[in-house]
Amino acid sequence: MDVPYDLSSYVRVLKLASTPSWEEFSRVALIAGAGVALVGLLGFIIFIVMSFLPGGV
C-alpha cells in the first residue's frame, strides 16, 4: 500500500468533484425518496398480507 500515491489520487478526485446545482440535487433527492417510499410500501403490503395468513405475525 503506497500511502502518498493513495492520498494524491484522493486529492485528484476531490478536485474533480463539484457541488451539484439545486436542480440536480432536488432531482436526486426526489428519486431517492421515491425509492425509499416504494420499499416501505412494499414492506407494509407484505406485513398486511402476512397478518391475514394463518400462522403469520
Give the distance, in angstroms, between the CA of residue 4 and the centroid of all CA atoms in the same chain: 31
3-state secondary structure the chain: CCHHHHHHHHHHHHHHCCCCCHHHHHHHHHHHHHHHHHHHHHHHHHHHHHHHCCCCC
pTM of the model: 0.63
What burial class does residue 4 get, using C-beta atoms within 10 Å of its C-beta: 0-12 exposed, 13-18 middle, 19+ buried? exposed
Judged against a pLDDT cut of 70, whether residue 51 lies above it is answered with yes
Q: Which of 6-10, 26-30, 34-38, 39-43 has the lowest mean pLDDT?
A: 6-10
Residues 18-33: pLDDT tens digits? Answer: 899 999 999 999 999 9
